[in-house]
Chain A
């Protein structure tokens, strides 16, 4: 009896320790990356970084103002295209359609989600860049939105499905039709969850590099419109990091730090939306 107990205790302790180690590795990775970024990029993050244009290779100083604005532009564009489409597709998935249709759409969305981002970049390049004969923020935005749609659709669907059936029936029983029920009860009930999913989705695509490499390309200067090649932080990091100049490397580190900071900020914002209390009972 006691020997069996002590064996159980041993197994218990070993497994606990194993889990502890894995947790440590997971958590420490984030902090190691953060520390590395701050150490290497912190020196170059200054006012100039946010307000100046990049200097030609070889010259010190300069900033990434155009890339920050460009990134915002492209992500905003992707958001404006991707969120509504993903949102409504999610509503369709959760609320309408028969089982076969839902299965097909869900499966397609998951496949789309699993497509390597570089392939999405090539696709946008073929469809937009080749046709319009130049790289553009528009093409970058479309490429990112293609990534955002399945993420948003699936997360919207998940949160809508979490709304208890009793709420739906409560609205239907009062004489609401289906669309009215969705618009006035179900979506508001799932609102915080859906919002959180959207924020996380946008944070996710704002760090993507591959889809932008052959779509919005890059630009050392301010771009003048959506149809112009446009600088973005991820691509800038990529370009600077492979350039043979220490100063550009430092700029890349700084850009990485800024990008990570923005993504972290978005994550924290999403947590705060959730922690303000879920809108659903219990």
Chain B
């Protein structure tokens, strides 16, 4: 294997009032490697160990999930998926702009790019999430033993009005990984970057789920309980406000009778499960109620909306088709409609549709559906319960390949 690239100081970061460093490194050194380089895997191994053995970290499921993700066994599985890493190198410097209200996405954004072989400047969320503090403490401790990663990584935050910092990072970056709403993404895209730099954009998306009525009705008690837990996780873990949180549920197949029975049971059970497992604030319910009123007023035909004790609102959207992004959805508000055939998904699956999580439908059916209908949207089809699992292939990007370049030797 090639040795990691030579160290060159890339950017001296100027002082700024709002600029805060969260890593001990101040200036970024360029450090390029092959994807899945030994040192980086070794670092992640220690990092993972230190996270999973940290007492404070245990209280944060998202941090623990991240810790598990970095384990050598997982990284090895991922590495085996790539057969062309010998002739690949990281693009260079990656500049990450993480979402401000999701605690752990910045961490995944960083490790994907680290594994692809890049140096990283990561702008972390400005909101003081406790798990970010714990992450940074563990990172700063662990990275002491890995000087090359230490020199080539900084975690910072600064005010978006410090445009010159964004410009400085953009001018020097070979890749920008931009998370955010459509408006903020386009603001960043207007900031000039290197001619050949790559923008990886995670902008506003939405997602949905599909459930086969017969398959759900056939579950035994234990399986059904597991299913409720999975549906709950997909909807509520990120306050139903992540791109991959389902906002619409498609009910596939079944008779009128079997559908009504299982549908009523499911929502009653999910709302009861969330009553026990989700701490909802009055303002969230008030805002859902107001959104429900807005949705009613805007729809041309009658839509019944049920409040299920406040935890879960469900709205039937079968009576008139509306684009899914015209609804204001979060904190437990589900749109639903029945379909007889997968082809009826087509009007809903537009460019903004990201994840379709499923239950009771086979991979083969989806493959056929994709081949036949060639939908313009949907980047990810995954079992219900895993909608929020972040992966190295995300939003249609293979991040290892996107954040590295191939060197052709002939």
Partners in one complex: no
List residues of chain B with CB under 8 Å of any chain A CB.
none
